Structure 1
Amino acid sequence: MLKQRILTAVVLAPLAIAAIFYLPLPLFGALMVAIMAIGAWEWGPLMGFARKTRRLFFVFASVVILGAIWSFMPPESLWLEKGVLQQNAIYILWLAVAWWALSALLTFLYPRFSSFWSSHRSIRGVFGWLTLVPAWLAFMVIRSSEYQTDPYHGAQLIMFLFLMVWSADIGAYFVGKSIGKHKLMPNVSPGKTLEGFFGGIASACLLVVTAGKIIDWNAEQFAIVLPVTIVITTISVLGDLNESMFKRQAGVKDSGSILPGHGGVLDRIDSLTATAPIYALCYVLIGW
């Protein structure tokens, strides 16, 4: 399993980096729509949809929602000027914050209250949209930042997010495997440990400090970025636990099988769907 995970990552990582840096903004947006559409397809079983027609309808509805947002807020017009984001985009990012706060509550209390939301497919569908739609917008907000003056600025911001999440994931895995003893949330994800959780945060912070030293950040920049790193890596665990909760409730092991060793697309982006909106909002409100 670990060998498959590594091989898949070795293939996908260069492709992801190339897409982030070199795809024009409209094509990057279309690629992200396609990824979210696959995520919507994989969300179908979490809603209890066994029939492909129902899953396709959910995908179609998801793409329509994304298309409507694109139409009203084109990616190239999201930023009114440097540091000033469209107010409607900010509202959606705050909606994501509210959703992930609710998600944290549902996850921490699981399996209490799960009978309510699990018995209503429409509620689980809304949960899916709240997970996928703001994440797409967040990536567009980040990627389009200062796009006219520096097409690579937003790409660098996205890579910074990816590196934080990936380093936390890797650190949590190896620390948890080596010294993990205390279960983090056994009702949701028995394999996760407190040691792995803190190991992941430490790994991400170490990466950020190393990167900051290399590019010569000042004390003020460290004072901003390190707390953001801790927040983002903590929320990345919530994204993982959130999907684990929905999969456990639906009796599903993996969201899909499209990525050998990783499962489905949702299994790969679960942390990013949680972190991207909060990361984008931090960037809008604080900047660095």
Structure 2
Amino acid sequence: MREIVKKILEVVGSKDIVFVGTEEQAEIKTIKPDEIELYPKKFENIIVDDIEQLDEEKMRKLAEMSDCVWVLFSIDKFIRKIDSSIEDMIGKGEFKNVNIQEKVEILKNLMKGNAYIANFNLPDLAIAISKERGKIPSEIRSEPLTSFFLNLSMVEYLKSKLEEVKREKELVEKELEREKEKSRFLNNELEKMIKEKEIVQARLEAEKKEIIKEKDALAKEIGIRSKKFECERRNAEKKWRREITRMLKERKAIEENYKKEREKFQNELEKMNKSYEEEKAKLQKEIEKINKEKDALAKEMNVKLEEMK
């Protein structure tokens, strides 16, 4: 015998009571749902296993057969049906009552009585529906049926809304993390450009030093040759003069070439500095844009959280 049936029998007794269901219950008479309309006898109490299987005519017969009807139902099954109704409300904009609520309301109206939840601290609950002249035992009377269904529905609805807010929060956090990753990537790119500029500047500086070194070496070589030519001047004055003239021309050409190379180097350096400043400004704008978007997302999240409070 099911525990919920045992609990009811402990309160109302096993005399003048019948069980309506498809499975036989020990120590209590059982009637199949299809046999209700054919049964002539009346009972003080009737226990119904699954009211959702009964149509209105069968429930009308129940109302005639007894002053007190006990409707059994599983709280887990009922919550799953509430979840389904909430999904319909979110998706279609309409909230439908769970079928068991409608059936119980019909039976209550047919009996012209009141309905209460009898909680025996079991996975199954019992709804006790009693006619006005009937009496529900005071030791099991609990909260009214309407407030129980309303409270249970609101709890499940708020649970679903909380899950929805959690999902939205996770999406916002993921988006913020993506923006942070993008910001880190841009910062890394900027650091790479700065390092590349430093490398180019170091290379140009080394080339400049090499040119100066070559110039000094050339000047030194000219001095050595000048001393040598001085010793031979008297014997080869004409040759010496021509050689000096040629070397002076070469020196002038070298200096002019150095000047041109220096100007070229300066121009390239200015272009590189200009390009670097433009790229830096561009990256700074992108970073500011990302920060604004991040602040906007954070404000939006705060607004949503405030709305949920």
Question: If the TM-score is normalised by the length of the shorter chain, which range does it land in?
Answer: under 0.3
The structure with more helix, counted as a fraction of residues: 1
The structure with more strand, counted as a fraction of residues: 2
Larger radius of gyration: 2
Normalising to structure 1: TM-score of the pair? 0.23
- Higher relative CO (Cα under 8 Å, sequence separation at least 6) belongs to 1
Normalising to structure 2: TM-score of the pair? 0.22
